[in-house]
Every structure is written in structure tokens, then in C-alpha cells.
Amino acid sequence: MNAELLRRGELNIADAAFVRDHFIPAAMELERWNIVVFEAFRTIELLMKGMVCLSGHLPRQSHEVQYLIDDFLALLTAKRDSQPFLYSATSPNGHAYGIYFDGTSVQLLKKVAGFYTLLASTGTEKETSIDRLLRLRLDVEGFTVSVYFGDELLLRTADAAISDATRFSRSFERIPDPVRVETLRRSAEQLRANREPAFFGTVPFSKEDAEAAVLLMKSALSEARAFVTLTE
């Protein structure tokens, strides 16, 4: 993957999480309702652009998140040469270690000659945040295979089946749940409608408006997990 796209994608995801966890709560406490409404939308925009970058593509320069979603779906549908893992380490002959998320657990598997073996797994909170799932990564060092959430160790096991798994890549669900994607799209469109009024202050939004925007943001973030919930 292009190193600059990877860097941009990781920064966008980190920025989305920071806005959600720190900036929006601070604005709520200060009763800056317009800022809350604007940043709720920006969180979803940053997330979608980050995922497009992590897929190895440059996102279009647009605030229309529905177009970003459409672009992302088209890219995923056309991508047929990736491993069926969120993050994988592949050998030259196609054997691989990979991280798999089925919606309820994170699993470490190996794929050898087309056969899959579960090496380790752990349950996760039902609503593990999309940004944490996007920060899942794999490390292979000698016979030790580890899964991390960022710098936090999640799983570790010993396996000697694949000694040359050196090509790392990230993938997404090629055909995400259409109902979840449509819910994401509707939430993003509602947030988008208030972007300019919130930014320029042409509409004085209320506490109720801000709370509604946060609920829409949380809905969109939850449904975006469809892109990392694998079904193959």
C-alpha cells in the first residue's frame, strides 16, 4: 500500500476518534451547539475518507459523504485479489495469517493451501468502536504471531506453519450489509444538511439539535462497522 495513503488514513481515523471522544464532549459542556452539530458530521466524513485511504485509494475531495460511501462500495466490489481478513500477513505462495472480525469476536486465523485454522480468538464488546477495529494490526516475529489494537496487545500465539509471511495488507468486507449501509447513508445525509448552517452560524442550533446530531453520529459510526464485519 502507498505509505502516504496509509498515513492519511490512519490520521483521519485518529482525528475522527479524537473529535468524537474529546472535542464534541467539550463543546457540549460549553454549550457550543453549532460546533457540536458541525463536528458530528465531520466525524463521519473523516471516518469515510480514512477508510477509503486505508483501502489504498485517494478519496474524492467532497463533503458529500453519500458519494464517498458509493465510491467505497464500488472500490470494494471491484477488489477481488485480497485475503478475506481485515489485516493479513501473506507469504509468496499465498499462505497467510489474518485477523477476522465476525461482529462479536476478533479471531486470529491461518490459511494454508486454502484451509483455515483458528489459532486464537477473543470476544469484544458488542459495540467495539469502528476506529478500534480499523486499528487492528498483525505482527509476525519468528514463530510468534500477535494481534494488536493500536499498541494494545489483544492476542498472541506461537505457530511455525508460515515462515515467510512478510506481505502485510488491509481489507474490508466486499459486500457489506445493505441495510446497515443505507442507515449509515441516511444518518450522514441528515448531518450533512446542517454542515454549512452550523459552520457559518446562519442557524442558531439548540441543545436538542446538538443532542440529535450526536445520536445520528453514533448511529452512523455503529453502522459503519458493516465494512469491517466479514461474512466470507
Residue-wise pLDDT tens digits, 103-152: 888 899 999 988 999 999 987 655 578 998 998 999 999 899 999 988 88
Closest C-alpha among 183, 207, 182 to residue 32: 207
User: What pLDDT score does 81 carry?
Assistant: 59
State pTM to two decimals: 0.90
User: What pLDDT score does 99 carry?
Assistant: 95
- pLDDT band with cut points at 50, 70 and 90 for residue 1: low
Domains of the chain: 3-80+174-227 (1.20.120.330), 87-170 (no CATH)
**Rounded to a whole number, what is the largest CA-CA distance in the chain?**
62
Residue-wise pLDDT tens digits, 168-224: 888 899 899 999 999 999 999 999 999 999 999 999 999 999 999 999 999 999 999
User: What pLDDT score does 232 carry?
Assistant: 62
Percent of the chain with pLDDT over 70: 96
CA-to-CA distance for 90 and 96, rounded, in angstroms?
Answer: 4
CA-to-CA distance for 172 and 230, rounded, in angstroms?
Answer: 7
Residue-wise pLDDT tens digits, 146-156: 999 888 899 99
Which pairs with CB-CB distance under 8 Å and at least 24 residues apart come from 15-24?
Answer: 15/46, 15/50, 16/43, 16/44, 16/46, 16/47, 16/50, 16/131, 17/129, 17/131, 19/43, 19/46, 20/217, 20/221, 24/214, 24/217
Closest C-alpha among 14, 20, 49, 50 to residue 214: 20
- pLDDT band with cut points at 50, 70 and 90 for residue 77: confident
